[in-house]
Amino acid sequence: MPVPARATRGRFHFASLFSPSHVPRGARVAARVAFRIADCNGRSGRHTGCKKYDRCPVQTVDHPTCVAYLAAVAWAATGRILARPVAPAPRRSALSIRPVNILLPLVEPQPRAQRREHERHKLAKRLRHQVGRAIADFGMIEDGDKVMVCLSGGKDSYTMLDILRQLQLKAPVKFELVAVNLDQKQPDFPAHVLPQYLESLGVDFTIIEQDTYSVVKRVVPEGKTMCSLCSRLRRGALYAHAAAHGFTKIALGHHRDDLVSTFFLNLFFHAKMGGMAPKLLSDDGQHVVIRPLAYVREEDIAAYAQARQFPIIPCNLCGSQENLQRKQIRRMMEAWEKESPGRIETIARALGDVRPAQLSDPALFDFPALGRRGQTPLPDAHAWLAGEPHASGDDDPDGRGLDGHDPAGCAPP
């Protein structure tokens, strides 16, 4: 039976090191062999039966056979061991077990650069999985599609382009990606950044130049929200370019948090339940808009953009306004997530599990048909409110009016 494992302030018995609960079977077998060839009577000097001493990385002077050979076994099992003999342990049966002070780093720490690279690969894999699942769930991309990837210079659009290019290499269908940026002629806009970056990747791209900045600044009063007009002008320019160059899909970089915040914007400020659809048809029916990042968290996008070191270009229009309703919603969502982690993900999943029968929209669910007993047309709301009293008195048994008052003008009791 092995000696029970015990340790006090860094002092371990070798028998404890090789007990069944600590090391694999191969190391235990090697330890038993080492004990058999050791000088068990405690005599100093090298045992002639030991074949490992010369190759042992740690050579000791006191009781070299036992200590050095066990050190070699521990080196093979753990990667590193430093042994120093101390006073002999009390005699146990025929075998004296010698305790030693040891330093045992079980696993060499992984270099920081390797850890960062490993985490980046894990994050990229998760993003590819989420984007691929969104493409499959909503049928975003088909064989032969020509996808216009709208690139603004922000972290979202950079990440979308990067992940789509990775998926394109192994996708089950063939499709074309073209990056398109709208230069709105904002002051101090670094117009050289995007072309240089896209050329370094070898990506086909087009830069559309249209001065929407001056239009927005001229039309929108100072301090008012610019997003609505800016988005309409930008959307019009992108739609016109897509129609002129035969693009079959228009990819936008909205992510999961954008979809959730839009839902609450419509709920709180417009009294309707609606958000950003992952895939939609434009109002004129000519363009299909897709949002491949519909399942991706903004937090993951920010981490990925930082790891990839994208050349981020800040927005001087909508991004510079702090009084936006969307930013208020974002702060609310951040507080929710801090208080109850996972709440935003739950809301995002709920947007994909809508049950019209449990809401109140007659356009989505045929409530009048529930339990209907005949085919006679049902009266509308006007008939219920402005209809004439029935000729029969059966509906007014106490002689009062339909409003509960006496026709003679007497107050009800």
What is the predicted pLDDT for the residue at 372?
86
Per-residue pLDDT tens over the stretch 167-183:
999 999 999 999 999 98
CA-wise closest residue to 180 among 317, 276, 280, 287: 287
What is the predicted pLDDT for the residue at 254?
96
> Exposure of 331 by Cβ count < 10 A (0-12 exposed, 13-18 middle, 19+ buried)?
exposed
pLDDT at residue 3 tops 70: no
Query: pLDDT above 90 covers what percent of the chain?
Result: 43
pLDDT at residue 69 tops 60: no
DSSP string for 164-216: HHHHHHH-SS--EEEEEEEE---TT--TTHHHHHHHHHT--EEEEE--HHHHH
3-class SS of residue 82: strand
What is the predicted pLDDT for the residue at 10?
39
Phi first, then psi, for residue 12 (nearest 5°) are -120, 145
pLDDT bracket for residue 221 (50, 70, 90)? confident
CB atoms within 10 A of CB 13: 20
Dihedral, CA atoms, 244, 251, 283, 364, nearest 10 degrees?
160
Which amino acid does the sequence have at 251?
A
Looking up tokens 């070798």, which residue turns up? 14
Summarize the annotated binding site as residue ranges: 227, 230, 318
Summarize the annotated binding site for [4Fe-4S] cluster as residue ranges: 227, 230, 318
Asked if 398 and 413 count as a contact pair (C-beta separation under 8 A), the reply is no
pLDDT bracket for residue 85 (50, 70, 90)? very low
Per-residue pLDDT tens over the stretch 358-393:
999 988 898 988 888 888 888 888 888 887 776 655
The residues pairing with 383 across neighbouring beta strands, listed in sequence order, are: none
pLDDT bracket for residue 195 (50, 70, 90)? very high
Question: Mean pLDDT in the chain?
Answer: 76
Local structure of residue 172 (DSSP, 8 states): S
pLDDT at residue 34 tops 70: no
All structural domains of the chain, each given as residue ranges with its CATH number in brackets, are 9-103 (no CATH), 112-354 (3.40.50.620)
pLDDT bracket for residue 11 (50, 70, 90)? very low
Q: What is the mean pLDDT of residues 150-165?
A: 96
pLDDT bracket for residue 321 (50, 70, 90)? low
Q: What is the mean pLDDT of residues 281-308?
A: 95
pLDDT bracket for residue 112 (50, 70, 90)? confident
Whole-prediction pTM value? 0.66
Helices 112-138 and 298-308 pack at an angle, to 10 degrees, of 130
CA-wise closest residue to 304 among 343, 253, 231, 340: 253
pLDDT at residue 163 tops 50: yes
Q: What is the mean pLDDT of residues 31-48?
A: 43
pLDDT at residue 68 tops 60: no
pLDDT at residue 347 tops 50: yes
Q: What is the mean pLDDT of residues 60-67?
A: 44
Per-residue pLDDT tens over the stretch 250-265:
999 999 999 999 999 9
3-class SS of residue 212: helix
What is the predicted pLDDT for the residue at 94?
47
Tokens of 207: 């830069």
Give the residue ranges of DSSP H helices in 202-358.
212-219, 227-244, 256-269, 298-308, 325-339, 343-350
Which value, in Å, is the radius of gyration of the alpha carbons in the chain? 38
What is the predicted pLDDT for the residue at 335?
94
- Render the burial of 135-148: b for 16+ CB within 10 Å, e for the rest: beebebbeeebebb
Higher pLDDT, 116 or 307: 307
Q: Is 144 left (phi over 0), alpha (psi -120 to 50) or beta?
A: left
